[in-house]
Structure 1
């Protein structure tokens, strides 16, 4: 049994444990995928107190949920799985997933998280370092490098868009050149270095003060950022370490026109904010939209502006809409037009007369009366223009007439009706 003093030293207070940061787990060589039979070295860097004990324990190692027997700062492993370490009084470290492959070709990715602005290096490796020819890299199924001889694929300054599932392909001479072989896909995620900054406005002794605030990733708290301030597209303060900017008195009434930008010292990562947060206002506006000027939005249906312009007449011919007939289910031709008439595009254009269909019966009756009157007048004119015959005594009824003698009808007096 251990001495009581040793047990007390192994169980630190909760406040001291909370003050310590996670230890850092590193991998040498720095790849998460190895071939079967190879070994890698894991090292745990963190707080290691100097304690004199009968059985000093400075580091704990875990493979999954299994506690390993080793207690040194570094161990050699060749078993696949998820490794973690813990130093006395500190939380457990972030995991490292080690993969062991028996393929001819593997894609090796870095064990540590890659952040924005940092280089991303991938390595396509043949079985026990055999040379790989006709090398190609892919991200999410799309080719990144058509061909090349370099074994590594490098992104000098990684971005969030570089995240995805990577894969490589190539050929090897075994002893003849083989067919193209593909590695297993490896998921790569580019971590966000810091969030997009937020611009807030507050009151100061000499006038309004703008403050550009952002949050660094917990693993990159040591990174220092610089801040710049803009009004529309004009730079009003260059990049500086101070996140505050005091507005001049002339710009105090234009707070909403300002925005800020946060960047690393090398400018490899730059992010800008929206408009400032003002008390009692809505969400901040986008600086890109502010820089380009306000966009004209269509008014609501109830807020349409009044227009005093006369509407232009329609250029297309008016459409004819026929009312459905209860007696027939098919479409009916418009009134005044035969069903087999020529198309409207070929027919001569006539001004539309909406009363033509309604007056057609009266027009036909009038035309018939005109034709009858014309025939009667022509007969009268024909009778008046012929030779006048001498008056003859009236012929008794039944007396025969000579052939060829025209029989002129006797004019009868108009009949007098009662009441005329």
Structure 2
């Protein structure tokens, strides 16, 4: 019984709906709103597919006409047949009225009873008989319209073409031509209504089908007119003109949200109308995911790291999670939003991300990449750390900032090294500070890429790390980094170079090493030049001097009388030279006029050895005397400056002469 009632309600609603949509329209043949005489046929038209004919009813001026046929023919119309005609059926509404005027005027202006947008409007200035000239003048609201004869065609009319039309034409009246005038009112009807774009489903979630329709209504007499539809999003065409009045977006995404419009036009393009905008917001199914690393993004080998794919769902739909490393899948789509690395190794370093999707795969969203750095396990850190702030060289946030805190990322930190030149055994202080950023701020210290220690500060002050210099290898660049809870990446400071001098070293030359520096090569070349110069000077003075240094020997003065002179000028005489001189001419005195003259520049001492022998006269009694003598003169060289000074003192000899006498006993 309840099923039958539901069926009857369904049928009754369908019938009511059908009756509301059937509306016939009346056509005339000939298709003029005014006629003189002759036969006129009126037809009741219904453009409904599958509709079965029933009895018709006709009305003139709302008065019934006793006929039940579809067509109403008036064989010879008269003035009494003038009026508004309507029709209906037992299953339809009454049609709109159509005006038919039967006239006896000399001149009438004929027009079609129905004129629609895009039609060609034909007007005929028609006379009672053939006494009229061919030419006729036409006017619309007293504005002349160019014409060539008594028929006027106006193509592709719009609603603005509605109005009063008038025509004039000359008629021969026995002796002269008389101007006759006729007028009529023309109403240009809407061919189809302004379209309305509609959303089939009022709420569209991500992954749902988005379906839009472009609804318009054709005028009943033009139900067979072919219309085409186009769709636009934010002014950009998304579906070209076609006979489909529906636009569909399968598996709609957030980017499909926007302002949509549709446009309707005739197949010839003579008439087009566009709808108002309809804003459509695709409802987000779940937020874009974020990947998190626990305990930190930087860990040492052996640490456990857990990756979390975090999102917020707006519905209870089941979601699947996938994890990637360097764009390669490491965990397929599962309902587990975590991925755990139990024992990290250096090869686990890389870029990680995750994706979230619905079970049907219609909606998928990816997180941004997050870099994991796994450092090799090294020696114990040189610096102290704040308890609970770090784990295995990695950063973990023990205390999230309060909701009231202003969420500010850190800026680039500045590193200060005090002092920047030290010796082994000294202590240095490293200060690292970011001037901006929400607290707490976490700092790390490095020496030439080696992790030294970390500090967490809870107030606005620099992080301080003290180190004791244990060897010269602690020279080189130092730097630090900083970040806080709101940082997307660490901020690195500029490097500061530290010079460590070894007290056991003989020489230490402090010098800042700059990129592209040529100081060390230049020093090496300079040192090589100095060494070569010293070697050459040594060779010159001790090896090569005899080749270039000679005392000058001067010939004896001939004006003086000597029996025999012999002199040896050169380097210091040897004992051989002295003995040889003794064995020669023992019985004669031998002299040499030893000149005193300026020694050559570059000499130190020149020696002159002179042996004096006296010839003894014959005597009966030999006498024992020391008559043989030898003397050695040495001339000590002065410098150029001292020579010039002595010359100014009018000293003739440029050298000091020293003599050593040797007396031989015979």
* TM-score using structure 2 length: 0.34
* 8 A contact 1:196–1:271 mirrored in 2: yes
State the secondary structure of the residue aligned to 2:19: helix
From 92, 105, 108, the counterpart of 1:106: 108
Q: Deviations over 1:268-293 (max 9, x none)?
A: 2111233323469xxxxxxxxxxxxx
State the secondary structure of the residue aligned to 2:177: coil
The separation in 2 between residues aligned to 1:226 and 1:120, in whole angstroms, is 23
Whether 1:273 and 2:275 are equivalent positions in the alignment is yes
* 8 A contact 1:197–1:212 mirrored in 2: no
Give 1:15-164 correspondences, 5 Å limit.
Answer: 15=15, 18=19, 21-35=22-36, 37-45=37-45, 58-72=55-69, 73-76=71-74, 77-78=77-78, 79-111=81-113, 113-128=114-129, 130-145=131-146, 147-149=147-149, 151-164=150-163
Once the two structures are TM-superposed, the CA of residue 133 in structure 1 deviates from its matched residue by 3.7
Once the two structures are TM-superposed, the CA of residue 241 in structure 1 deviates from its matched residue by 2.5
The separation in 2 between residues aligned to 1:262 and 1:237, in whole angstroms, is 12
Matched residue, 1:3 = none
Once the two structures are TM-superposed, the CA of residue 221 in structure 1 deviates from its matched residue by 3.9
**Greater relative contact order (Cα < 8 A, sep 6+):** 1
Q: Deviations over 1:11-62 (max 9, x none)?
A: xxx9499378344432221111122x54423334567858xxxxxxx44433
* 8 A contact 1:120–1:154 mirrored in 2: yes
Matched residue, 2:181 = 182
Aligned residues: 255
* 8 A contact 2:28–2:43 mirrored in 1: yes
The separation in 1 between residues aligned to 2:198 and 2:88, in whole angstroms, is 40
The separation in 2 between residues aligned to 1:135 and 1:94, in whole angstroms, is 33
* 8 A contact 2:260–2:279 mirrored in 1: no
The separation in 2 between residues aligned to 1:208 and 1:94, in whole angstroms, is 41
The separation in 2 between residues aligned to 1:232 and 1:89, in whole angstroms, is 44
The separation in 2 between residues aligned to 1:214 and 1:260, in whole angstroms, is 9
State the secondary structure of the residue aligned to 1:180: strand
Once the two structures are TM-superposed, the CA of residue 125 in structure 1 deviates from its matched residue by 0.4
Q: Deviations over 1:102-130 (max 9, x none)?
A: 2221111112x222122222211011355
| Residues 264 and 230 (structure 1), Cα distance of their counterparts in 2 relative to 1, 3 Å cut | same
Q: Deviations over 1:129-186 (max 9, x none)?
A: 55444412111221122x412x3222232211111111111212334552432103x2
| Residues 171 and 143 (structure 1), Cα distance of their counterparts in 2 relative to 1, 3 Å cut | same
* 8 A contact 2:194–2:273 mirrored in 1: yes
State the secondary structure of the residue aligned to 1:172: strand
* 8 A contact 2:60–2:84 mirrored in 1: yes
Q: Deviations over 1:245-289 (max 9, x none)?
A: 456999954744653322122212111233323469xxxxxxxxx
The separation in 1 between residues aligned to 2:249 and 2:22, in whole angstroms, is 39
Once the two structures are TM-superposed, the CA of residue 71 in structure 1 deviates from its matched residue by 4.7
The separation in 1 between residues aligned to 2:248 and 2:109, in whole angstroms, is 52
The separation in 2 between residues aligned to 1:75 and 1:262, in whole angstroms, is 38
Matched residue, 2:477 = none
The separation in 1 between residues aligned to 2:217 and 2:21, in whole angstroms, is 19
The separation in 1 between residues aligned to 2:266 and 2:64, in whole angstroms, is 40
The separation in 1 between residues aligned to 2:67 and 2:216, in whole angstroms, is 38
State the secondary structure of the residue aligned to 2:148: coil
* 8 A contact 1:207–1:252 mirrored in 2: no
| Residues 170 and 91 (structure 1), Cα distance of their counterparts in 2 relative to 1, 3 Å cut | same
The separation in 2 between residues aligned to 1:48 and 1:211, in whole angstroms, is 33
The separation in 2 between residues aligned to 1:144 and 1:200, in whole angstroms, is 43
State the secondary structure of the residue aligned to 2:119: coil
The separation in 2 between residues aligned to 1:247 and 1:125, in whole angstroms, is 57
* Range with greater deviation from structure 2 (255-264 or 244-253): 244-253
| Residues 45 and 235 (structure 1), Cα distance of their counterparts in 2 relative to 1, 3 Å cut | closer
| Residues 34 and 222 (structure 1), Cα distance of their counterparts in 2 relative to 1, 3 Å cut | closer
State the secondary structure of the residue aligned to 2:136: strand
Once the two structures are TM-superposed, the CA of residue 210 in structure 1 deviates from its matched residue by 6.3
Structure 2 unmatched runs, 5+: 1-13, 283-666
State the secondary structure of the residue aligned to 2:279: coil
Structure showing the higher strand proportion among its residues: 2
State the secondary structure of the residue aligned to 1:128: coil
* 8 A contact 2:214–2:262 mirrored in 1: no
* TM-score using structure 1 length: 0.51
* 8 A contact 1:117–1:158 mirrored in 2: yes
State the secondary structure of the residue aligned to 1:173: strand
| Residues 255 and 31 (structure 1), Cα distance of their counterparts in 2 relative to 1, 3 Å cut | same
Matched residue, 1:191 = 189
The separation in 1 between residues aligned to 2:252 and 2:206, in whole angstroms, is 16
Alignment RMSD (CA, Å): 3.7
* 8 A contact 2:22–2:91 mirrored in 1: no
The separation in 2 between residues aligned to 1:34 and 1:181, in whole angstroms, is 17
* 8 A contact 1:171–1:177 mirrored in 2: no
Larger radius of gyration: 2
Matched residue, 1:388 = none
